[in-house]
């Protein structure tokens, strides 16, 4: 679900569109529509968080790229990413 928010940065004011924050579990395909992880991402030091899938219970790594799009991967496959 794309959300548009009004922001004010210094002198300039504008509408920022937060991109899609819904994602599907890469393992079981369950759709996650919560946006609380987006707030957690904001607060997290490394820009990534781990969450358990509510469908299959697998651990998911979640981060967002430079455009604000959500990237999701399986934590068990993480070593392959490095």
SS3 25: coil
Min dist CB 51 to Zn ion, Å, is 10
Q: How far is the CB of 64 from Zn ion (least distance, A)?
A: 19
DSSP codes, the chain: --EEEEEEETTEEEEEEE----EE-TTT--EE---HHHHHHHH-SSSEEEEE-TTT--EEEEEE-TTS-EEEEEGGGHHHH-
Q: Which is nearer to Zn ion, 55 or 61 (CB)?
A: 55
Q: Which residues from 25-64 bind Zn ion, rule CB under 5 A? A: 25, 27-28, 30, 53, 55-56
Q: Which is nearer to Zn ion, 18 or 59 (CB)?
A: 59
Distance of closest approach, residue 56 Cβ to Zn ion, in angstroms: 3
Residues at the interface with Zn ion (CB under 5 A) = 25, 27-28, 30, 53, 55-56
């Amino acid at each position: 679900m794309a959300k548009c928010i009004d922001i004010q940065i210094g002198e300039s004011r504008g509408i920022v569109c937060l991109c899609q924050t819904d994602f599907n579990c890469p393992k079981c395909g369950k759709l996650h529509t919560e946006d609380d992880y987006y707030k957690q991402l904001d607060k997290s030091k490394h820009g990534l968080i781990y969450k358990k899938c509510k469908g299959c219970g697998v651990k998911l790594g979640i981060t967002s790229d430079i455009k604000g799009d959500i990237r999701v991967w399986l934590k068990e496959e993480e070593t392959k990413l490095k």
